[in-house]
Amino acid sequence: MSRHPLPPERLEARTAEIGGGLTIRRALPNRHRRTVGAWCFLDHAGPMEFAAGGGMHVGPHPHIGLQTFTWMIEGDVVHRDSLGNEQLITPGQVNLMTAGAGIAHAEDSAPGHAGKLHAAQLWIALPEGERRRAPAFRNHPQLPLIESGGFSVRVLAGSAFGHRSPAEVYSPLVGLDLTTTGRAILAVPLAGAFEHAALVLSGAASVAGEALAPGTLLYFGPGREELALRTEGPARILLIGGTPFGEEILVWWNFVARTREEIALAARDWNAGRFGAVRGSPAPPLVTPDVAGLNLRPALNPDRTP
């Protein structure tokens, strides 16, 4: 039987707008909970329809100390980075970029036609022993798919239902996309050492008896061995989890670091052009905010021990 020492937490996402007029719901970091496992950032982008020339246009910008993890649901987006990669990501694919010691990239909706866009953009904090590794990029067009209980379950990261994602991550993690076209009931097996969170991306669902709709992240602490999902109609649910990330991190702009000095150095490097060029993006490079005087809040949840 599942152990659940604490009731789930309901964390409301905040709405913002990014390049190209794209509305996003930012679920992580949240002022009540900064991370779920090593997952330290979660934007639910769209769904939206756009005219020719519209969609996502996020100009060149830098990253350190993390992996960016893009799950594409609808639409086509072109990834370009300072390693020289140019990759079109289409629905059902994951783009995984390891920033490590430093990389720059841009993301733009495919040019020339109207379309739709719906995606989840996540970051994974790299642990101390991996955060200065060489940058890298991989596109994953084939991910394990399991049919169970009326759900189609795509294993985005980690392993579930006896299948493992090819995405290379550096902390114990799981990421699942669960979709259904109608009434469905499923008990999702969980790793008891993991904390988890569920986010409805479309439709509505009951998660462990809690009614859930887009805009709310439902968090579960360690100790659960399964999660009961129920839907009465079409729905899509994102489930993420991992072992509690016991390192204090600072998340500022596009950087994940340990000290203010690291962040200030990364900002200076970006302003001086030391991250390398991202070629081909129609969007202008992003400008680093002023780091001076910022009160950077460590991203370690208060109920965790480093």
Question: Domain map of the chain by residue range?
Answer: 9-242
Which range has the worst mean pLDDT, 8-12, 114-118, 224-228, 248-252?
114-118
pLDDT beyond 80 at 297: no
Return the higher-pLDDT residue of 85 and 51.
85
Looking at every residue in the chain, the average pLDDT score rounds to 92
Average pLDDT over residues 227-232: 98
Average pLDDT over residues 268-289: 94
Q: Taking the C-alpha atoms of 147, 192, 166 and 69 in order, what is their torsion angle to the nearest 10 degrees? A: 100
CB 197 within 8 A of CB 8: no
CA–CA distances in Å: residue 260 to residues 41, 161, 250, 265, 270: 19, 41, 8, 9, 15
pLDDT beyond 80 at 300: no
The pLDDT of residue 295 is 55
Torsions phi, psi of 114, nearest 5?
A: -70, 165
The pLDDT of residue 305 is 26
Q: Taking the C-alpha atoms of 201, 33, 194 and 263 in order, what is their torsion angle to the nearest 10 degrees? A: 100
The pLDDT of residue 298 is 56
Q: In what order do the strands lie in the sheet with 57-63?
A: 57-63, 103-109, 77-81, 86-89
Handedness of CA 126, 128, 132, 136 (dihedral sign): negative
Residue 55: band (very low, low, confident or very high) from pLDDT cuts 50, 70, 90:
confident
Average pLDDT over residues 283-299: 74
Average pLDDT over residues 289-306: 52
The pLDDT of residue 304 is 31
Q: What fold does the segment set 9-242 form as a domain?
A: Jelly Rolls (2.60.120)
Residue 20: band (very low, low, confident or very high) from pLDDT cuts 50, 70, 90:
low
Cα 36 to Cα 303: distance, rounded to the nearest angstrom: 12
pLDDT beyond 50 at 242: yes
DSSP E strand boundaries for 99-194 = 103-109, 115-125, 136-140, 145-148, 151-157, 159-160, 163-164, 173-180, 183-189
Report pTM: 0.93
